[in-house]
Amino acid sequence: MFLGMDVGTGGTRAVLVDEKGQLAGSASSEHEPFRTPHPGWAEQDPEDWWRAAQRAIREVLASGARVDAVGLTGQMHGAVMLDKDGKVLRPALIWCDVRTGPQCDWLHKVIGRERLIELTANPALPNFTLTKLLWVKEHEPEIFARIAHILCPKDYVRYRLTGTYAMDVQEASGTLLLDVAHRRWSKEVAKIAGIPESWLPELFESPEICANISDEAAQLTGLKAGTPVAAGAGDQGAGAVGMGILQPGSVSATIGTSGVVFAATAAPTRDPLGRLHTFCHAVPGRWHVMGVTQAAGLSLRWLRETLAPDQTYDDLTSAAARIPAGSDGLLWTPYLLGERTPHLDPTATAAFVGITATTTRAHFTRAVLEGVAYSLKDTFTLFSELGIPVKGVRLGGGGARGPLWREIQANIYGYACERLTAEEGGAFGAALMAGVGAGHWPDLEAACAAGITVAETIQPKPAAVQRYAEGYAGYRRVYPALKGIHG
């Protein structure tokens, strides 16, 4: 058995995967809601992650399973700050904390935006770990002066499990401190930012064994002391492994609260304008690019809570299925939380455009489903501009669960889309990495071949593809128009 753990925003999930790559058990424990002391702030207590991890592990091991290796994944970009004794200095600033705009501007000024992309393959964004550290340096210098170690959320849980400070290169790509092309810390960026290299944990490839369960953690969790722990990956890298997105040309489109289009590449492919993230892949020797829609599934949730609190999601989508492709001209731009790809604009706002006297609630629902897919289509457009191959698309998250949204995505993207028999998420991918690290599978390709099967392929329909091509052209004109109105 191999244990995969996902330290998410809302909770920690633990899964067991057997020697055939099949799910053998799972358990979850919720986190306390993250705190927002001020608008745009988002903080969590790392000790709460550790509490939830212990509970989830104990519950999943209640069947008496013997775990041969552990892998971890979790929310990316968080800043966990520890002192010389490994004690947490302050609540962690997590991925959705966007207070650090001034720190991003400072990095672009002192390093240069283009130079920063050369060094780290990414521009400075408020989500990234380094910008959070710089905010603490400026606003809480007494805390900054005591920092001895910095980690991301799942790596803090690993520290509590093993006593080891470690991080994988995929996760480290989201800190803005990694030389992504060479898979090592960037000495230049760290020096300019005033981050001592001694603070940075040792780097590993995702399937590598980097630590072992400590005696103390064994007593608290029920895991056996000495059990090997693989480095793992951030949630997007581990989720891609769990969907088999390993080879160049393989692409996933995952709709959760946010939406991500993820493509594996053979070499680091930088977007000179920084509209896409370029990270090390969880697969050794490979990279990935991804575009992010901030409010993907969130758009549908917002619609339901605001306009149809008495309806289920199935009720809404059933009605929307009776509306023709293109929603009779109604468009939705899903910028409820600003937007990352391709606009890099935290001030962007959402809008319905094209409302008439005949517009119904079903039109609004279908327009939201289509607008989210149009937003993700923006990433496919960038892939085409940058020469990133797309051989097919695997759908994940909530966007893969309903037939209407699957059909809309296939027709808007213009590619055959696959739905997996079971999509178990990042924890499943982390467990497969643990199995590779333990030597059960020779590599991640073999692990995925054992554990992943395709349930359905959705082919795009030419008439709908043409209708959506027209709709997408209109969608692309909405953002500049709104920008002109709202500044």
pLDDT single digits (tens) 155-188: 999 999 999 999 999 999 999 999 999 999 999 9
At residue 96, the pLDDT reads: 85
Q: Which tokens in the block code for residue 240?
A: 């891609």
As a whole number, the mean pLDDT across the chain is 95
User: Domain map of the chain by residue range?
Assistant: 2-237, 244-422+453-487
DSSP 79: B
Residue 487 confidence (pLDDT): 59
Indicate the pLDDT class of residue 397, thresholds 50, 70 and 90: confident
Q: How far apart are CA 449 and CA 66, in angstroms?
A: 23
DSSP string over 393-423: EEEEEGGGTSHHHHHHHHHHHTS-EEEES--
Please name every residue paired with 92 in a beta bridge, in sequence order, or none if there are none: 44
| C-alpha distances out from residue 86 to 55, 149, 198, 226, 483, Å | 22, 7, 14, 21, 46
Cβ atoms 179, 200 nearer than 8 A: no
What are the DSSP calls for 342-357, one per residue? TT-BTT---EEE---T
Report the C-alpha gap between 13 and 282 in whole angstroms: 20
Q: What is the pLDDT of residue 399?
A: 83
Q: Is 246 helix (H, G, I), strand (E, B) or coil?
A: coil
CA–CA distance, 134 with 107 (Å, rounded to integer):
9
Q: What is the pLDDT of residues 204-229, one digit of tens each?
A: 999 999 999 999 999 999 999 999 99
Model pLDDT for residues 237-289, shown as the tens digit of each residue? 999 999 999 999 999 999 988 899 999 999 999 898 889 999 999 999 999 99
DSSP 3-state of 307: helix
Fold of 244-422+453-487: Nucleotidyltransferase; domain 5 (3.30.420)
Name residues whose C-beta falls within 8 Å of residue 245's C-beta, 6 or more positions apart in sequence: 251, 252, 262, 263, 264, 288, 394
Local structure of residue 199 (DSSP, 8 states): G
In this predicted structure, the answer to whether residue 329 has a pLDDT above a threshold of 80 is: yes
Residue entry with tokens 């959320």: 153
Question: What are 349's two structure tokens?
Answer: 């706002």
pLDDT tops 80 at residue 102: yes
Which helix (H) or strand (E) segment holds residue 6: the answer is strand 2-7
Q: Which of 68, 155, 235, 271 is catalytic?
A: 235
**Who contacts 326 (Cβ-Cβ below 8 Å, separation ≥6)?**
370, 467, 468, 470, 471
Domain 2-237 shares a fold with domain 244-422+453-487? yes
What class has domain 2-237?
alpha beta
* pLDDT exceeds 90 at position 39: no
Catalytic annotation on 168? no
Residues 307 and 288 sit within 8 Å (Cβ to Cβ): no
Please check the confidence at residue 481 and state whether its pLDDT lies above 70. Answer: yes
Q: What is the DSSP pairing of strand 417-420 with strand 454-458? A: antiparallel
**3-state DSSP call for residue 234?**
coil
Contact 393, 252 (CB under 8 A): yes
- pLDDT band at residue 66 using 50, 70 and 90 as cut-offs: very high
Summarize the confidence of residues 298-312 as an average pLDDT.
95
Question: Residue 63 — very low, low, confident or very high, per pLDDT cuts 50/70/90?
Answer: confident
Provide the 10 A C-beta neighbour count for residue 27: 17
CB neighbour burial string for 299-314, b if at least 16 within 10 angstroms, e if fewer: bbbebbeeebeebebe
Distance between terminal CA atoms of the chain?
55
68 token code pair: 């041969």
- Examine the pLDDT at 400 and tell me if it is beyond 90: no
Percent of the chain's residues with pLDDT above 70: 100
The whole-number pLDDT of residue 256 equals 86
454-470 pLDDT, tens digit per residue, is: 999 999 999 999 999 99
Q: Where are the alpha helices (DSSP H) in 243-312?
A: 297-307
The counts of H helices and E strands in the chain are: 17, 23
Given a cut of 80, is residue 486 above it in pLDDT?
A: no
